[in-house]
C-alpha cells in the first residue's frame, strides 16, 4: 500500500511540476495522496506541501487584503460542532501530552477566547504534516523527526488550530451542500470522467495515460474551481490566524512567517523525493484493490486543489506581516516554553 501511494505521489508531483513550468498550470494532488490509505472528508483540514511551480508569483483575487487582515475581529469564533472523542494506541502518549498541555494552556489566554481545548494525536506517517478535525489535532510522526525544529512545528500547529478557530470544516461542508453536493460524485457522471476511467481501468489494472489525463484534468479544474478557491482562501486564512495565535503565544510575525515557509519547503522536498527530474516519467500500470481504485480516481487523480502554492502563501504572509505584528505579545511565555519541549521521536 505505501509503495503504491509513494510511487503515485512522486509521479504526479513530477508530471505537474514539469508541465506547470511550461504552462503556468498547477495541480496539487499531494493533499489527497495518503500512504496509509486515509481518505479526506469535507470535515477535515490537512496541512501538506503544495507543489512549487512558479518563478513569478502574484496573489489570486481571493487572497486576503491588508484591510481584511486589520478587521479580522476575534481570533476564535464560537465552536460550531461538538467536540470529538479520540483514542489512540498510546505509542507516543508522553509526547502527545506534552504538546497538548502547553497548547491548551496557551489557548486559555483572554485574547484567544472562546478558544478551544485540543486533543493531540500523533499518527505514524512518513510524510510530514498535520490536520485538524474540530478539536482533534493530528500530527504526523515525520513532523517530529530531526528534519524539523520546534519553531517550524509550532507554526504548523498554530496554522492547523487556525482552521478550527474559524470553523473551516463546518463552513466547507456548507459550501459543498450549497454547490450541489459531493463534487466527486457529480463529476464521476460526466462524459470526460467516464471515458477516461473506461480507457484506463481494465479489471484491477490501472494504466496511466498522461496525454489523456492532461485533457480531462482541465475539465475537472474548471468544474471544481469554486470549491478550490474557497478551500485555498481558507488556507490563506489559516496562515493568517495561525500567525495571530502564535503571536499571542510569544512568536513574532516574522518568525512565524519564516518558520512555516521553511516547514512547507522541507515537507515538499520530502514528499516529492527524487521527482524533481526535468523529464516526465513514462506512463505506467498499477494493480489496485477495490478501495485503492476509489481513492485513485476520486481522491488523487481528481483531487480538489485545496492549497495555494508555497510561493503564494509566502507572498500572502509577506504582504500582511505588518498587520500581523499587532497580535504579538512579547511577554507571553508559551513560545519559549515550546522551543524547550522534548518532542522529537
Distance from C-alpha of 193 to C-alpha of 220, rounded to nearest angstrom: 8
Answer yes or no: are the C-beta atoms of 210 and 138 closer than 8 Å. no
Residue 63 grid coordinates:
487572497
With a threshold of 0.75, does the pTM exceed it? yes
What's the DSSP call for residue 65? P
CA 51 vs. chain centroid, Å, equals 11
Domain layout of the chain by residue ranges: 2-339
Contacts of 175 (CB under 8 A, 6+ apart): 227, 230
Is it the case that residue 28 has pLDDT exceeding 50?
no
Which residues are within 8 A (CB) of 132 and not within 5 positions of it... i.e. 6 or more apart?
44, 45, 138, 160, 161, 163, 164, 169
pLDDT digits (tens, 9 = 90+) for 232-254: 999 999 999 999 999 999 999 99
Distant-in-sequence, close-in-space partners of 127: CB < 8 Å, separation ≥ 6: 35, 48, 140, 142, 267, 270, 271
Question: 312: which 3 cell numbers?
Answer: 503564494
Whole-number Å distance between alpha carbons of 317 and 313: 6
Q: What average pLDDT score do residues 149-155 get?
A: 98
pLDDT at residue 127 tops 60: yes
Amino acid at each position: 500500500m505505501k509503495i503504491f501511494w509513494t510511487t503515485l505521489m512522486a509521479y504526479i508531483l513530477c508530471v505537474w511540476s514539469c508541465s506547470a513550468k511550461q504552462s503556468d498550470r498547477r495541480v496539487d494532488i499531494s493533499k489527497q495522496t495518503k500512504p496509509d490509505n486515509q481518505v479526506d472528508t469535507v470535515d477535515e483540514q490537512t496541512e501538506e506541501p503544495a507543489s512549487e511551480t512558479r518563478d513569478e508569483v502574484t496573489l489570486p483575487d481571493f487572497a486576503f487584503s491588508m484591510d481584511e487582515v486589520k478587521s479580522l475581529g476575534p481570533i476564535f469564533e464560537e465552536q460550531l460542532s461538538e467536540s470529538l472523542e479520540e483514542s489512540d494506541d498510546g505509542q507516543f502518549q508522553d509526547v502527545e501530552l506534552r504538546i497538548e498541555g502547553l497548547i491548551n494552556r496557551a489557548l486559555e489566554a483572554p485574547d484567544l477566547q472562546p478558544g478551544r481545548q485540543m486533543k493531540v494525536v500523533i499518527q505514524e506517517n512518513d510524510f510530514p504534516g498535520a490536520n485538524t478535525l474540530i478539536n482533534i489535532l493530528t500530527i504526523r510522526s515525520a513532523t517530529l523527526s530531526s528534519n524539523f525544529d520546534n519553531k517550524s512545528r509550532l507554526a504548523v500547529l498554530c496554522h492547523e488550530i487556525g482552521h478550527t478557530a474559524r470553523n473551516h470544516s463546518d463552513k466547507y461542508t456548507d459550501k459543498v451542500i450549497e454547490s450541489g453536493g459531493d463534487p466527486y460524485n457529480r463529476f464521476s457522471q460526466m462524459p470526460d470522467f467516464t471515458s477516461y476511467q473506461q480507457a484506463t481501468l481494465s479489471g484491477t489494472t490501472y494504466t496511466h495515460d498522461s496525454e489523456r489525463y492532461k485533457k480531462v484534468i482541465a475539465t475537472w479544474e474548471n468544474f471544481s474551481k469554486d470549491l478550490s478557491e474557497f478551500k485555498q482562501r481558507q488556507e490563506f486564512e489559516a496562515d493568517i490566524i495561525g500567525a495571530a495565535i502564535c503571536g499571542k503565544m510569544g512568536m513574532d510575525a516574522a518568525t512565524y512567517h519564516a518558520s512555516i515557509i521553511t516547514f512547507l519547503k522541507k515537507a515538499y522536498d520530502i514528499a516529492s523525493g527524487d521527482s524533481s527530474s526535468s523529464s516526465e516519467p513514462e506512463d505506467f500500470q498499477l494493480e489496485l484493490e477495490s478501495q485503492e481504485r476509489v481513492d485513485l480516481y476520486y481522491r488523487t487523480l481528481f483531487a480538489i486543489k485545496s492549497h495555494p502554492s508555497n510561493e503564494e502563501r509566502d507572498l500572502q504572509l509577506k504582504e500582511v506581516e505588518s498587520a500581523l505584528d499587532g497580535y504579538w505579545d512579547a511577554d507571553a511565555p508559551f513560545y519559549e516554553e515550546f522551543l524547550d519541549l522534548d518532542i522529537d521521536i
